[in-house]
Amino acid sequence: MKLRVELDWRTTLATALLLPTLLALGFWQLDRAEEKAALIDRLEARRALPAITPQSAIRLPENELADRRVVMDAHFSPNQYVLLDNRLRGGKFGYEVIAFAEVGQLAVALNLGWVQGDASRQVLPEILLPQGVHTVSGRLYQPSGDAFMLGDNPLPAQLPGVVQQLTLLAWRDELQARLDHAVFPLEIRVGEFEPVGFDATWAIVNQTPAKHQGYAVQWFTMAAALGLAFIFRSTNLWQWLRYRIGRP
């Protein structure tokens, strides 16, 4: 028996389009797994470094800021905060509370954590900020890219207010004029057990490296199944193998 190849153009075209896509998705998930592993390694390494103040952080290179531990004496003022909209935790709708506190001659955006919101969005949660000066520790948060936003994201005309994202660089001049202090350029997320915080549990990454690797295995498995289906659909390989094995 001879091995024959009979290509059907529909099967060939579908395989030519889908197979590279499935492989690309698999390798993309592997890349994501490496990125998440690097983020976790960076966080662990910077946790071991001594805590710094926001004033010291300003003097560091930008690539050394993310995840550094910070400590400060922060002065809170009533109603000087914004709510980051549409933050989900445990399947529940809520907000993250960003308080604008005075730290020396800086205005610092302190993320105090998550509070549950009204699912109907008709009533905003009542937020009681700490009063006066508190010693606060946390870590610098530096997003890996620009967040997706629906339309503009202006600073509310009056505080408190609701915003989609914390865009400190875009708001810098307006915030500085309102707060009469230079604006520290990064968000600081308070520690999980800080008395001034709400629900301040922060995920290191939204998905673990192992989960991305699992997704990669799924994409590669689909690619392998497609490749085998194409081979057996377009050739008589199965019959040829059975014939070869059955021969004395």
Quick one: pLDDT at residue 154?
A: 82
Q: Could you give the 3-state DSSP secondary structure of residue 215?
A: helix
**171 and 50 within one domain:** yes
- Calpha distance 8→15 (Å, rounded): 11
Range of the domain at 229: 9-39+208-246
Q: What is the pLDDT of residue 145?
A: 57
DSSP code, position 126:
P
Q: Are 69 and 52 in contact (CB under 8 A)?
A: yes
Cα angle 205, 209, 215; round to 5: 115
Instruction: Give the per-residue pLDDT at 60.
Output: 86
Q: What pLDDT is recorded for position 1? A: 66
* Judgement on whether residues 219 and 162 belong to the same structural domain of the protein: no
**Length of the chain as a residue count:** 248
Cβ atoms within 10 Å of 152's Cβ, excluding its own: 8
pLDDT at residue 134, rounded to an integer: 93
pLDDT for the residue numbered 243: 65
Decide if 135 is inside a domain. yes
Q: Does residue 151 contact residue 85 with C-beta atoms inside 8 Å?
A: no
Per-residue CA distances from 89 to 86, 101, 123, 140, 167 (Å): 10, 25, 19, 21, 22
pTM of structure: 0.74
| Residue 175: count of CB within 10 angstroms of its CB | 19
Regarding whether 149 and 103 lie in a shared domain, the answer is yes
Residue 52 included in any domain: yes
Whether residue 70 is contained in a domain is answered as yes
- pLDDT block averages, 10 residues each, the chain of length 248: 75 90 94 85 80 89 85 91 90 92 92 89 87 92 67 82 88 88 91 89 78 92 91 75 66
pLDDT of residue 114: 93
d(CA 132, CA 210): 44
Q: What is the pLDDT of residue 188?
A: 93
How much is the pLDDT for 30? 93
185 occurs within a structural domain = yes
Residue 198 belongs to a domain: no
Predicted local distance difference test score (pLDDT) of residue 111: 95
Return the pLDDT at 75.
94
Per-residue model confidence (pLDDT) at position 95: 93
**Does 14 share its domain with 119?**
no
pLDDT value, residue 216 = 93
Is residue 108 assigned to a domain?
yes
* Closest of 128, 186, 179 to residue 155, by C-alpha: 179
- Domain count along the chain: 2
What gap in Å lies between CA 222 and CA 21, rounded to an integer? 11
